[in-house]
């Protein structure tokens, strides 16, 4: 870490839980962010400003006027640009020392596994169950921690799925693929702008905790936010031993 970095990250370094060693772990880390929209915007911005050394943004969409109400990584001037390119510009404007890889793709299968394999931590900032299940499956297969967020209307949720821990559940333990859950799009149901900022910023915090080894990870818990009442609730999650995705992972 050079003198410029010591100054840039000095407020982190002052924290006993981070210090120079923890900041170096952040600099050495690679965060894979699936989705460069409402959740991905604040998550990516905070990870870049905090010094995560490499960030891969994955999204196949372009910036639209309707995005700008909540997707704070994008600007009016970048309407029509790929979200990942707009996001890359925003992240480098905050911290030009971060390596930002912009992938305009809808990744799946072996390609998704390859990207997860290269990452230190994965953030699911997508908006549909199919992608969430695909990302979860790849994280279980590659043994990578997953930080998952969701937001709709005034309601948000946050969870960490880290199946490196023997008793930790995966996303499919909580939402089985065959459970019949239906996607609810904010394009039809709406979402209040600061809600995605809150959940996305907390995804960044949980990712940093996992990378730097800070505090207690959220693995095994689901946080729910009622934005109308401004009330948080926390649920303990149990691993499903017969889960088709992670059930046999720790079997002898």
- The label of the residue with tokens 């596994």 reads 113
In a domain, 249, yes or no: no
Q: What average pLDDT does range 57-66 have in this prediction? A: 97
Task: Look up the CATH number of the domain holding residue 168.
Answer: 3.40.50.720
**pLDDT digit string (tens) for 80-95?**
999 999 999 999 999 9
**pLDDT digit string (tens) for 193-230?**
999 999 999 999 999 999 999 999 899 999 999 999 99
Domain assignment of residue 212, given as a range: 3-236
In a domain, 250, yes or no: no
Q: Catalytic residues, which ones?
A: 186
For residue 238, the number of C-alpha atoms closer than 13 Å in the C-beta half-sphere is: 3
Give the mean pLDDT of the chain: 93
In a domain, 65, yes or no: yes
In a domain, 76, yes or no: yes
In a domain, 241, yes or no: no
In a domain, 126, yes or no: yes
In a domain, 98, yes or no: yes
Torsion of the alpha carbons at 104, 108, 114 and 118, rounded to the nearest 10: 60
Structural domains counted in the chain = 1
In a domain, 148, yes or no: yes
**pLDDT digit string (tens) for 118-170?**
999 999 999 899 999 999 999 999 999 999 999 999 999 999 999 899 889 99
Quote the pTM value: 0.94
């Amino acid at each position: 870490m050079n003198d410029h970095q010591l100054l840039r990250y000095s407020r982190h370094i002052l924290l006993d839980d981070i210090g120079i060693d923890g900041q170096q772990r952040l600099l050495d880390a690679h965060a894979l962010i699936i989705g460069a929209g409402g959740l991905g915007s604040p998550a990516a911005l905070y990870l870049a400003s905090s010094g995560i050394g490499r960030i891969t943004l994955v999204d196949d969409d372009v910036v639209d006027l309707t995005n700008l109400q909540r997707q704070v990584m994008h600007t009016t001037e970048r309407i029509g640009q790929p979200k990942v390119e707009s996001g890359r510009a925003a992240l480098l404007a905050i911290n030009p020392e971060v390596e930002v890889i912009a992938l305009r793709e809808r990744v799946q299968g072996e390609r998704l596994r390859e990207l997860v394999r290269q990452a230190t931590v994965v953030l699911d900032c997508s908006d549909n169950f199919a992608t969430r299940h695909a990302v979860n499956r790849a994280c279980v297969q590659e043994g990578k921690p997953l930080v998952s967020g969701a937001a709709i209307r005034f309601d948000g949720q946050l969870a960490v799925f880290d199946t490196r821990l023997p008793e930790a559940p995966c996303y499919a333990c909580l939402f089985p693929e065959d459970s019949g859950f239906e996607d609810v799009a904010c394009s039809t149901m709406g979402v209040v702008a600061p809600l995605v900022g809150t959940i996305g910023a907390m995804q960044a915090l949980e990712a940093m905790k996992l990378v730097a080894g800070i505090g207690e990870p959220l693995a095994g818990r689901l946080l729910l936010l009622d934005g109308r009442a401004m009330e948080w609730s926390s649920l303990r999650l149990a691993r499903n031993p017969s889960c088709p995705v992670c059930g046999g992972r720790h079997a002898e």
